[in-house]
Structure 1
Amino acid sequence: MKSCGVSLDAAAARSLRAAGDEEKKMAAGKANEVELDFLKLTAQERDSLVEMNSSLFGFQRLHEDGARTKALLLKAVSCYDSAILKSEGKVEPEMFCQLGHFNLLLEDYPKALSAYQRYYSLQSDYWKNAGFLYGLGLVYFHYNTFHWAIKAFQDGLYIDPSFSRATEIHMRLGLMFKGNTNYESSLKVCTIKGLIPISRLWLLLE
């Protein structure tokens, strides 16, 4: 039998190279798609989103005079969801944290919890992120899972005692301790932030 002039090893090598090139092209294509999703957000919108995090919860009236902010958040959620889907989960953990913040500000608690949980599972040092812990605590507070909310809030205060929403955290901790009939802890946590009159009122109402 005559030789074809090409060894099997050479043919296999070319095949592997071709497969590798194809994979690179596919990966590059997906990367480009992800970039295109983010390009839907203007530079100004991206700059605005940098400031959007859990600390703004309750301080923005999205249903009254914040229509523009709400539209931006909805657009950001859409872009992030699309980018995450196309990247097949190979994204930076911080992206899930931001997505959690956006959904929290939109009061979409199920999606906020889902995004925060993804961040928690991917980011080994999540406990260093006070904004994440505050957002997660707010979601747990909404669902009345006080045990987990208390832990998240306390962890957040431990890592960053001067957190911008420390007063809100102490207030919610006081409410949860009071709800659990732990009046001593409720009084103590309120005393720290000068909320004694409120805490005394709770005790009188019992």
Structure 2
Amino acid sequence: MAARTASSNNEEGSLSLTAEEREALGGLDSSLFGFMSLHENGARTKTLLGKAVRWYESLILKAEGKVEPDFFCQLGHFILLLEDYAKALSAYQRYYSLQADCWKNAAFLYGLGLVYFYYNAFHWATKAFQDVLYIDPSFCRAKEVHLRLGLMFKVNTDYESSLKHFQLALIDCNPCTLSTAEIQFHIAHVYETQ
């Protein structure tokens, strides 16, 4: 019995986050998706994200349904950064069901759009990405949003909208997961397909 108690105390202790870890996690959200390396030199960040996910999950279990909606949003961001799309979608959906004005949260909409994009749910991804641009036209990943909208419109044969978004991505000077040459290739491909 004492061994079980000691074991559970050790588990709770290992599930706590230090002030330094909380500070490191403070700036992490869905906008870092695709821009953080969790392989090779990012192993420390990956370990920290895994620990944060376990910590958030344990807090949610202990709270027995009385959890701030932001917990689910942040949990969704961490899980998305770990590329576990099914769990990220679940956390984002919980946030969506609990937070009445979730549509005002650009990082949430961007993360949700990325998850829908991954699952090829282009109708829902398009809606989420367009909402990001509507509520925050200067969103830090607007170039990435335009790129993904261009790709989805191209797949759905809406070539005019596709070109518009690829061209907006091309003139945006912010970082993106594709190079300028790759975006130009997609523009040329749209013209060829037309």
The interval holding the TM-score normalised by the smaller chain is: 0.7 to 0.9
After TM superposition, the structure 1 = structure 2 runs for residues 82-161 of structure 1, keeping only pairs within 5 Å, are 82-161=58-137
1: CA distance, partners of 2:154 / 2:117: 14
Alignment match of 1:203 (pick from 183, 190, 194): 190
**C-alpha displacement at 1:38, in angstroms?**
9.6
- Alignment partner, residue 160 of structure 2: 184
8 Å CA contact 2:69, 2:98 repeated in 1: yes
Q: Which aligned runs of 4 or more in structure 1 are off by greater than 4 angstroms?
A: 36-39
- Alignment partner, residue 29 of structure 2: 53
1: CA distance, partners of 2:46 / 2:59: 20
- Alignment partner, residue 5 of structure 2: none
- Alignment partner, residue 68 of structure 1: 44
Give the TM-score normalised by the residue count of structure 1. Answer: 0.79
- Further displaced range: 184-193 or 101-110: 184-193
Give the TM-score normalised by the residue count of structure 2. Answer: 0.84
**C-alpha displacement at 1:193, in angstroms?**
3.3
* Structure 1 residue runs without a partner (length 5+): 1-32
| Counterpart amino acid of residue 101 in structure 2 | D
| Counterpart amino acid of residue 189 in structure 2 | W
8 Å CA contact 1:137, 1:149 repeated in 2: yes
8 Å CA contact 1:37, 1:82 repeated in 2: no
**C-alpha displacement at 1:202, in angstroms?**
1.9
Matched residue count: 172
8 Å CA contact 1:100, 1:116 repeated in 2: yes
Q: Indicate how the Cα distance of structure 1 residues 39 and 109 shifts in structure 2: closer, same or farther if over 3 A, else same.
A: closer
8 Å CA contact 1:53, 1:131 repeated in 2: yes
Please identify the structure whose Cα radius of gyration is greater. 1
- Alignment partner, residue 174 of structure 2: none
| Counterpart amino acid of residue 86 in structure 2 | P
Q: Indicate how the Cα distance of structure 1 residues 51 and 38 shifts in structure 2: closer, same or farther if over 3 A, else same.
A: farther
**C-alpha displacement at 1:198, in angstroms?**
3.9
8 Å CA contact 1:174, 1:186 repeated in 2: yes
1: CA distance, partners of 2:13 / 2:119: 32
